[in-house]
Amino acid sequence: MSQTLNCVELLRRAVRPTTFVQSRTLSELAGANVVIASETFQHTGSFKFRAAYNVVQQTNAPHLIAASSGNFGQALACACQLLSKRCTVVMPATSAQVKIDAVRRYGGVVELVDTTKVSRADRVKQLALEHTDAQVVSAYDDQLVIDGNSSLGEEIIECGEKFDAIIVPVGGGGLASGIVRALQRHNDQTPVYGAEPKIANDASRSLQEGKIIRNDDEPQSIADGARTLSLGLNNWPILQSGLRTIIEVEEADIENAVRVLFTAANLKVEPTGALTVAALLAQKNTFTKQNVCCIVSGGNVDAAVYRRILENA
């Protein structure tokens, strides 16, 4: 444990501290005292840098490979660049150019795959066989990823507020596991709530049924960071014991939360980043008059998508 703590301390010198944002308007709207822990100004614009940097820092491999069409790819490429390692990110050939460019800007090699012919996972396996010095990295199902994300939990614990609840977005479960792990390390009993899109509710169903439930297909939630098929094996036991519950959020409520954060808090967030505020506003009764920390996981959203969401503001 002290080994892990030392690594987390080392990591915290590399990451940017989270940004705590308060909005009186949002607090009034929620009927609670809301503190946002925003990872939108983290390196590469999302919390994923915490996990990526920790993996790259702690592995001996000179070359990291991951499948990611989103924030983890950028974060891994950036961490590899900072620590002078090679990075390959497998992305669908249909990925937005802006996301491909972002990985390349950080010196990552992008491997585009025609996913109608070969799955991303299979291409990653092929690459791992070709590059025997490389290590394949999961964006969420990995103890080093969880430890990396726990650094955000440490910051929340140390921020000077005593929270009645922490709400965290749930996709593969890497961030939620990290927050729970940090609290457990400090014997901190603050309840942690997950926030998950209703149309991608595998984690919520998993908690209810007591075993990992998988989505049949990648759910097409606007919260693209929560489009995972299931919780990771490493995340599951931590979340099963550590999450109070998971709040399922409607798609329209996610978009509304993006607008609320724009209007009431001056925060530009990606839809996945708005999940926790959507959950808070959907379950006001649960949090009435409480001191609530909502984690905003990232801010990377295409201008066109953002413009469409703002149409109804």
Contacting residues toward a second copy, per CB under 8 A: 16, 19, 21-22, 24-25, 40-41, 43, 45, 105, 259, 262-263, 265-268, 299-300, 303-304, 306-307, 310-311, 313
2-14 vs 48-58: helix crossing angle, rounded to 10: 120
Length of the chain: 313
Minimum CB distance to a second copy, residue 258 (Å) = 11
Nearest distance from residue 5's CB to a second copy, in Å? Answer: 25
Closer to a second copy by Cβ: residue 90 or 309: 309
The terminus-to-terminus CA distance of the chain in angstroms comes to 47
- Radius of gyration, alpha carbons of the chain: 18
| Nearer residue to a second copy within complex by CB, 127 or 261 | 261
Do the beta carbons of residue 176 and residue 243 sit within 8 Å?
A: yes
> Shortest approach of a second copy to residue 266 CB, angstroms?
3
Cβ atoms 21, 279 nearer than 8 A: no
Interior CA angle at 299 toward 166 and 22, to 5°? 45
Q: Tell me whether residue 37 or residue 113 sits nearer to a second copy (CB atom).
A: 37
Least distance in angstroms from the C-beta of 24 to a second copy: 8
The residue (of 217 and 311) whose beta carbon lies closer to a second copy is 311
In the bound state with a second copy, the residue whose beta carbon lies nearer, of 105 and 284, is 105
Name the minimum Å distance from CB 307 to a second copy: 5
Query: Which strand ranges, in their side-by-side order, compose the sheet holding 109-113?
Result: 109-113, 86-92, 63-67, 134-136
Check if the beta carbon of residue 290 is closer than 8 Å to that of residue 181: no
Q: Is 250 helix (H, G, I), strand (E, B) or coil?
A: coil
d(CA 75, CA 102): 10
Residue 185 or 259 having the CB closest to a second copy: 259
Min dist. Cβ of residue 95 to a second copy (A): 17
d(CA 49, CA 203): 23
Question: Closest approach of Cβ 300 to a second copy, in Å?
Answer: 7
Residues 268/242, Cβ–Cβ less than 8 Å: no
Q: Parallel, antiparallel, or unpaired: how do β-strands 86-92 and 109-113 relate? A: parallel
Nearer to a second copy, 11 or 113 (CB): 11
